[in-house]
Chains A and B, each alone.
Chain A
Amino acid sequence: MGTFSSTHFLFLAVAALWTVALTAIAFIGGGLAGFAVALARISGNRILRGIAIVYIQIIQGTPLLILLFLIYFGVAVIGFKTVPALLAAGVGLTVYSSGFLAEIWRGCIQAVPKTQWEAAECLALTRWQRMTRVILPQALRMATAPTVGFLVQIVKNTSLASVVGFVELAQAGKLINNSIFEPFTIFIVVAGFYFAICYPLSLWSRSLERKLNVSHR
């Protein structure tokens, strides 16, 4: 039995870097997949739209914990013998983020006034051009604040990656707690790390929101 020392603190700091890394993987992967799902969700093709709706409903209707377990054990079902924890956690969080980002971005794309679509069509732009030149630039402006807000959710949810054996911040805290059992100190430090990552993002998201509102008035 020891007490909480600088070694433990350093261990947590390294684990915090893994939390950030996992967040980056989930955000980039989830962003790409989510964008595709968002486009499918508003596409003219009914089947594509249906698939996107079902996908989003499933992701938003199951807890992340269950998604992670499903992917962890699902990969074994496909035939891989061992699953690296980073892979399982990364894929799980990517799938999770894609479901939520798709819905956020769909809302932003559909919030662009219909007249913009019509005007672009009158200019004889193709559907692709309408999307990339007219609609998306405007949707992007609306999307930044909620997207940064969701980034905070991703950071917090990486804490669940511990269930598939990935040692990130929360799991590191648990490991230290198992050896020295000083839960108050340890988990307050852990919470402090999370807060240090999330709070600036929250502030940024809020300031983006304010800026956007000002320009709209």
Chain B
Amino acid sequence: MGYHFDFAALLPYWRDFAMGILLTLQLSAVSTVLGFVLGTLCAIGRSDGTRLIRTSLAIYIEVIRNTPLLVQIFLVYFGIATLGIHVSANMAAVTALVVNVVAYTSEIMRAGLESIHKSQLEAADCLGLSRAQIYWHVILRPAIERVYPALTSQYVLLMLASSITSQISAEELTAVANRIQSDTFRSFETYIIVGILYILLSFVVRIAFWAFGQGLFVRRRKLGTPL
């Protein structure tokens, strides 16, 4: 084993690493927010929509969940280009990530919606709550609280999966690493650093979700028990 490790060669690139981290976080944040909102709407559509809506959503979800993200990214990036519309790599990356994560979110949220007992709805109805009120207070909020751990894991996976967008040269952390290693020929060191950065990022995302959950779910914070 005559390999000589040289991490110092990577020091001048700290600014590039930082930019990569920033874009990774931006990609993940935008996809998480959009994915959550649209995914929740899809879950509602799947349980309450007309038959046509239900079937098309089911097909969409199955197709997305049974094909690789990489192929979805290629389809979006190259596919949109053939339509004659020019989109940046970052835009294509966000689109593909959102299309992907909506399907997963929707499945998780559906489990949450199904966990709400029917008697809850009847009780809410008896109290004279409007349809919107029932949806928000009786169905959605408890449902989100129940599946919150599953959502957290899904969005951490999303952050890690955003590395795949480096394949269409969206300049996030992995793409930055690919560039730096070809500049410095310090491939192994570069990927060790980036691996550690991703582990740290996944901790940060988990902590952020935990803190957000503590703020959001008052009952859990005060009683300390799961719903």
Contact = CB atoms under 8 A, between A and B. Distances in A.
Size bracket, chain A contacts:
35 or more
A202 interface: yes
B215 interface: no
A79 interface: yes
B88 to A, nearest CB: 17
B66 A57 contact: no
B2 interface: yes
Contact of B75 (A60, A66, A67, A188): A188
Contacts of B1: 77-79
A58 B74 contact: no
A89 interface: no
Contact of A183 (B65, B82, B181): B82
A190 interface: yes
B71 A170 contact: yes
Interface stretch (A2-10, A30-38, A155-163): A155-163
Contact of B68 (A57, A61, A70, A170): A170
A61 B202 contact: yes
Contacts of A62: 160, 195, 198-199
Given A73-B188, A74-B188, A156-B69, A187 B63 contact: no
24 contacts: A61-B160, A61-B198, A62-B195, A63-B163, A63-B198, A69-B177, A69-B191, A70-B188, A70-B191, A73-B191, A78-B1, A152-B66, A157-B68, A163-B167, A170-B74, A173-B74, A174-B74, A177-B78, A181-B82, A183-B78, A191-B67, A191-B72, A198-B65, A198-B66
Contacts of B198: 61-63, 66
A75 B203 CA distance: 28
A184 B78 CA distance: 8
B143 to A, nearest CB: 20
B91 interface: no
Given A62-B199, A69-B191, A77-B188, A202 B71 contact: no
Q: Which 4 A/B pairs are nearest by Cβ-Cβ distance?
A: A183-B78, A198-B66, A61-B199, A63-B163
A150 interface: no
Chain B, interface SS category: helix
Interface residues of B, number: 38
B32 interface: no
A157 to B, nearest CB: 7
Interface string B146-189: 00000000000000110110110000001001000100000110
Contacts of A156: 66-69
B66 A183 contact: no
Given A156-B69, A191-B75, A79 B163 contact: no
B49 interface: no
B194 interface: yes
